Structure 1
Amino acid sequence: MVGTKGSETTKNSLEHSLQQLKSHFTWNLVEGEHSLDDFEDKVCNQNEFQNSEFKATMCNILAYIKLRRGQHEAALGCLQQAEELIQREHADQAEVRSLVTWGNYAWVYYHLGRFAEAQLYVDKVKQVCQKFSSPYRIESPELDCEEGWTRLKCGGNQNERAKVCFEKALEKNPKNPEFTSGLAIASYQLDNQPPSQNPINPLRQAIRLNPDDQYVKVLLALKLQKMNKNDEGERLVEEALEKAPLATDVIRGAAKLYRRKGDLDQAIELLRKALKCMPNNIYLHCHIGCYYKAKVLEVEKMGGEREELQELIRHAIDHLKKADESNGNFFRISSYLACLHARIGQYEEAECYFQKEFSKELPPVAKQLLHLRYGNFQLYQRKHEDKAIHHFIEGVKINQGSKEGEKMKNKLQRFAKIKLSKNRADPKALHLLAIESPELDCEEGWTRLKCGGNQNERAKVCFEKALEKNPKNPEFTSGLAIASYQLDNQPPSQNPINPLRQAIRLNPDDQYVKVLLALKLQKMNKNDEGERLVEEALEKAPLATDVIRGAAKLYRRKGDLDQAIELLRKALKCMPNNIYLHCHIGCYYKAKVLEVEKMGGEREELQELIRHAIDHLKKADESNGNFFRISSYLACLHARIGQYEEAECYFQKEFSKELPPVAKQLLHLRYGNFQLYQRKHEDKAIHHFIEGVKINQGSKEGEKMKNKLQRFAKIKLSKNRADPKALHLLAFLQELDEDMQPAEENSENLIPLASLAEE
């Protein structure tokens, strides 16, 4: 029994040590991914950033994936390869460069239950770190760089964190070519996300410091092409291809440039060259197939020979088939294949691929385009007019205002006119002309309501239009009630009470409308009726996530955080990847932390609540959602439990976003407090309070920062009446007050500098 207890203690101690390591197992690399298969596919195939000298990084990522799959021995094999590569490529920095690999070894042995060997690697890390006066972590630019390359390889929502890693590494070694290349690539990857990163300067700097990095030259060329600086871009690509003719990332980037230029032959030739090095890469097959398909259209437009077209179609089909037969989630590939087979008269094969595409869970845009293509196939190849009309109608219902929707509406109108020219009472033609039906208005209303924001007003108009033709329809009434509720906070007020009650009368089974009415009644202090409606809705629709989320909002407003959290966790079981649920749960836990703290709760309870808040907010933060303040919430929570490095990282992430003024000012206040109370950096705190006050000194946050700055000045002047920093602060504050007040009031309302100095 004692032995078991001792073993458990060793395991717990080891677990604690493992959590301190810089390792792939502590970096949350898979969070935000749909599955481990998708993650591996992206890292190994999809991400074009393949051909770097950082092969050890790839071995470490593969070890992480293998362990997640339970392939422990394969994971150890990958780590051994990583270790050998580090010894070979970085002999002069082998110890520091091996820390991540050793940390990964420790995790693998821990999962194998071989605790002694895990502890051996933990101790190896410890020995190196103790040279730098730290138990398990050191602030090393090489380690920041390793984490940066790992996150960059993972792509997607990891690119922002990768950029932060390279920036941190460059603070300690500003002229390092490797760190500069990493920052340039991360900036390029983030260029299409707000705020724009403008990667031109980082890319040029990377080329200056590392002229042998051909991939960075290709990225700069692609960026220059977008700016219409084609000559310089093409020179860079030609140089990169000449110096790295077998580098697949260089080849793929160059192919993208020639494709944009319209030189399909050159693009195809380059990708076929890359395919010799990576014959099973489905993304290469997909791109080559699409380029051949574009070539078919180009040759057809120019009146090319039939034999040439047949040959191009055959190549396109061969490559697209390889992509389609994989497990990749390629929207439209099956319909591309269907259209290509239809072009050469292979209608059975075309039908098969169309049905395969219909069987997928497609986004609305792809679904509408598929209805258009299949309708055309039925109309022109199979001569089935009724089937074509059916698919055009289904397509129009999805989004009438799109280009594809307009094409199908025009086709339907032409059908109707032709039929009516033969028979003015043709029922099918009259039905087609009645496509402007209340059902279609309703369909458009729900679509716009789902989009939210500025579409709510248009949605309301659609439901009102539908109700003009069918005033007692329960569905149309519910739609109008929900639209009115969404618009209630916008001028002019919609007063949704009557539409909501009417919707419940006509459709008593619509539990979501009951919750919306309850929320509105709560605002009017009619709490009893509101709570009865919510309880009824939850009883009748216990698994409806919209009902649960609305009910949670009601309990949150009431102050019952426990009930609100319980309801949202219930919804999360049905929608485990819903980032908005994670965001709300995290914020509710954060509010719970403040509540328990105010009541003098136990330290352990607070730590547990903070951990839950961080877990959920991280999931929201690592998505691509534009959540203002989430990163700063995470920063504050990490700061509360002494994790200052993590707090700094999240604060910097929040500063990198394009924030509205209110959020920017609050961020300066929070970061200033962090620098003042946790990091004890008074100068940095003062700098951020000054920047915050400049945004809007009249706000609550502005007043707080002004008060802090005045206190700083008074404390400094009490020690030294001529303190230059204090006098500068007072001059700044006096200037602000002058800006705030009318000229005639300035002289009597301002406090003279001298009197404050005396104070």
Structure 2
Amino acid sequence: MSEDNLKLLSCHFTWGLLKEDADLNFLEVKVREKLAVKCKYGGNLKQRGLNFLAFIKHLQGFNDEALKNLTLAKEEHPNDDKNAIVMYGNLAWVHSHMGNVTEAEKNIEKVNEILKAFPTPSPTELHREVLSEKAWSLLKFSKKSYVRAKEIFLEALQKEPDDKEWNTGFAFSLFRLEGLKIGQYKRVRYEESPAVLQLKKALKLDPNNAMIHVYLGLKCYKNETNAEALEYMTQALKMAPDDLSVVLHVAKFMKKEQRYDAALEVLLEMLKKAPDSSRIHHEIANNYRWKAMQIDDIHNPELLGLCVHHLEKGASLNPSHIYPQLELALRYAELKQTAKAEQKFTELFALSDLKPADRQAWHRMYGDFKLYRLGSERTAVEHYKQGMMLGRVSTEWVSCRNRLRKILQRDTRDTYMIRTLFASFRTESTDY
């Protein structure tokens, strides 16, 4: 079988989605957890979710699991029509990678049959269903593919300026891209935000889209119009109480507003529908922790116990997510289980596949453990220093810097080393 025939297929395998550009574990968890919630799926969204999950499993090196997910996708949409083009293309690629040449050729032929039955005006033009799945996949896969997603939605809009889906997709693309700017210590003002203008246009066309409300709420919150943000978030929750992404966004907003009981009510209700969601467990744990701080009782045994319970449950469901487990180690320390905390930190640091951002978080939290629980300032300083030296790979860089600044203000014996470290960063950036 010629590889050229595979390359002609428009599917996840030919859309330039590179595994080094994405956090595959996080993507898998998000898709799996969303699919696990029993709710009504509009159109062929469940099939698309399974298609996307299959591609992720391929990138992780598990073609058997990829094939299982594509089989489930086929059951969701057994008819050979335009909505199945991407699925059959993915099946052809997976079978080819598994050495199943005959099956690969069968699926290529399936695609060709559909294309003959539903021809496009030109051979290079994609069917709307394929273009849609491609654009949304690019938007979900990685921040490195946001621009490409935006370009697809924008080009489609030029042909159909009032199309509901294209307007929503373009709005979401702009929102994500502006979010990257905020991550780089910049902020797009609400009144000047192209994303806000496009989100409002999309909302007029699709007023029942809960995620549009969520994104507008987040834009309001970032610009300190919190009452309006709350209105958007409340409406989103009413519209989509079973949507895991919506619930998590709303709960995180409530947490930032210090409305911990309200956030817990929303999260615990969602937990009944998604008991195996590691992200829900992590967010519940965070709210119990912050609630204890709110009542000025950080060592409250009941709240701390609930926090630890949900962190442990989340860790068991998603052992590859390191950050909640680092928090768990700190909570052990707060329970005065110092040896257990030390063991957990040691186990996590020994992992061979720690990403730079995870390693930076490890240094910051281990430094906190040494400084605030064991009183070892010298060791803490060394770990904050190691965290900074990893560069701006996450917001933990700022946390390490701020902790070193506090130590520097006390004029301790580590002053010279800290000043020297800051001087090295000052030569590279004015914002150190």
Contact 2:95–2:101, Cα closer than 8 Å, also in 1: yes
Q: Quote the offset at 1:410 in angstroms.
A: 5.0
Q: 1:169 aligns with which of 156, 168, 176?
A: 156
Q: For residues 229 and 448 of structure 1, what CA distance do their matches in structure 2 show?
A: 35
Contact 1:248–1:277, Cα closer than 8 Å, also in 2: no
Aligned residues: 400
Q: For residues 84 and 324 of structure 1, what CA distance do their matches in structure 2 show?
A: 32
Q: For residues 33 and 174 of structure 2, what CA distance do their matches in structure 1 show?
A: 21
Q: Quote the offset at 1:127 in angstroms.
A: 4.3
Cα offsets for 1:223-263 (capped at 9, x unmatched): 22223333333233333322322222221121122122221
Matched, 1:58 2:72: no
Contact 1:285–1:322, Cα closer than 8 Å, also in 2: yes
Contact 1:30–1:36, Cα closer than 8 Å, also in 2: no
Q: What is the letter of the counterpart of residue 121 of structure 1?
A: N
Q: For residues 145 and 368 of structure 1, what CA distance do their matches in structure 2 show?
A: 41
Q: For residues 436 and 221 of structure 1, what CA distance do their matches in structure 2 show?
A: 43
Partner of 2:401: 402
Partner of 1:391: 379
Cα offsets for 1:261-312 (capped at 9, x unmatched): 22111112212222222222222222221221111111116xx9x8xx2111
Matched, 1:296 2:292: yes
Q: Quote the offset at 1:110 in angstroms.
A: 2.5
Cα offsets for 1:545-574 (capped at 9, x unmatched): xxxxxxxxxxxxxxxxxxxxxxxxxxxxxx
Alpha-carbon spacing, 1:114–1:265, altered in 2? closer, same or farther (3 Å): same
Q: 2:244 aligns with which of 229, 244, 248?
A: 248
- 1:116-135 superposed matches below 5 A: 116-129=102-115, 131-132=119-120, 134=122
Q: 2:343 aligns with which of 348, 352, 373?
A: 352
Partner of 2:81: 95
- 1:3-22 superposed matches below 5 A: 11-12=1-2, 15-22=3-10
Q: Quote the offset at 1:182 in angstroms.
A: 2.2
- 1:677-692 superposed matches below 5 A: none
Considering only CA atoms, is the larger Rg found in Structure 1 or Structure 2?
A: 1
Q: 1:238 aligns with which of 234, 248, 272?
A: 234
Q: Quote the offset at 1:26 in angstroms.
A: 0.7
Partner of 2:215: 219
Contact 1:86–1:98, Cα closer than 8 Å, also in 2: yes
Partner of 1:149: 136
Matched, 1:264 2:269: no
| RMSD between aligned residues | 3.6
Alpha-carbon spacing, 1:404–1:84, altered in 2? closer, same or farther (3 Å): same
Q: For residues 178 and 418 of structure 2, what CA distance do their matches in structure 1 show?
A: 39
Partner of 1:706: none
**SS of 1:21 mapped into structure 2:** coil
Alpha-carbon spacing, 1:102–1:207, altered in 2? closer, same or farther (3 Å): same
Cα offsets for 1:351-374 (capped at 9, x unmatched): 434544665665557524532431
**SS of 1:32 mapped into structure 2:** helix
Q: For residues 381 and 278 of structure 2, what CA distance do their matches in structure 1 show?
A: 35
Q: For residues 67 and 248 of structure 1, what CA distance do their matches in structure 2 show?
A: 25
- 1:742-753 superposed matches below 5 A: none
**SS of 2:320 mapped into structure 1:** coil
Alpha-carbon spacing, 1:239–1:402, altered in 2? closer, same or farther (3 Å): closer
Unaligned runs of 5+ in 1: 1-10, 89-93, 380-387, 414-431, 459-759
Contact 1:169–1:179, Cα closer than 8 Å, also in 2: yes
Unaligned runs of 5+ in 2: 183-187, 389-397
Tell me the percent identity.
25
Q: For residues 46 and 391 of structure 1, what CA distance do their matches in structure 2 show?
A: 42
TM-score (norm 2): 0.78
Q: 1:337 aligns with which of 316, 328, 341?
A: 328
Q: What is the letter of the counterpart of residue 204 of structure 1?
A: K
Q: For residues 68 and 60 of structure 2, what CA distance do their matches in structure 1 show?
A: 14
Alpha-carbon spacing, 1:411–1:224, altered in 2? closer, same or farther (3 Å): closer
**SS of 2:180 mapped into structure 1:** coil
Contact 1:185–1:203, Cα closer than 8 Å, also in 2: yes
Q: For residues 354 and 336 of structure 1, what CA distance do their matches in structure 2 show?
A: 10
Alpha-carbon spacing, 1:44–1:376, altered in 2? closer, same or farther (3 Å): same
Contact 1:372–1:391, Cα closer than 8 Å, also in 2: no
Q: For residues 57 and 286 of structure 2, what CA distance do their matches in structure 1 show?
A: 33
Contact 1:56–1:83, Cα closer than 8 Å, also in 2: yes
Partner of 2:174: 187
Contact 1:170–1:176, Cα closer than 8 Å, also in 2: yes
Q: For residues 64 and 258 of structure 1, what CA distance do their matches in structure 2 show?
A: 34
Q: 1:40 aligns with which of 18, 22, 28?
A: 28
Relative contact order (C-alpha < 8 Å, sep 6+): which is higher? 2
Alpha-carbon spacing, 1:445–1:200, altered in 2? closer, same or farther (3 Å): closer
Q: Quote the offset at 1:378 in angstroms.
A: 1.6
Cα offsets for 1:481-524 (capped at 9, x unmatched): xxxxxxxxxxxxxxxxxxxxxxxxxxxxxxxxxxxxxxxxxxxx
Q: For residues 235 and 36 of structure 1, what CA distance do their matches in structure 2 show?
A: 34
Q: For residues 68 and 318 of structure 1, what CA distance do their matches in structure 2 show?
A: 33
TM-score (norm 1): 0.47
Q: Quote the offset at 1:76 in angstroms.
A: 4.1
Q: What is the letter of the counterpart of residue 264 of structure 1?
A: Y
**SS of 2:194 mapped into structure 1:** coil
Q: Quote the offset at 1:192 in angstroms.
A: 1.5
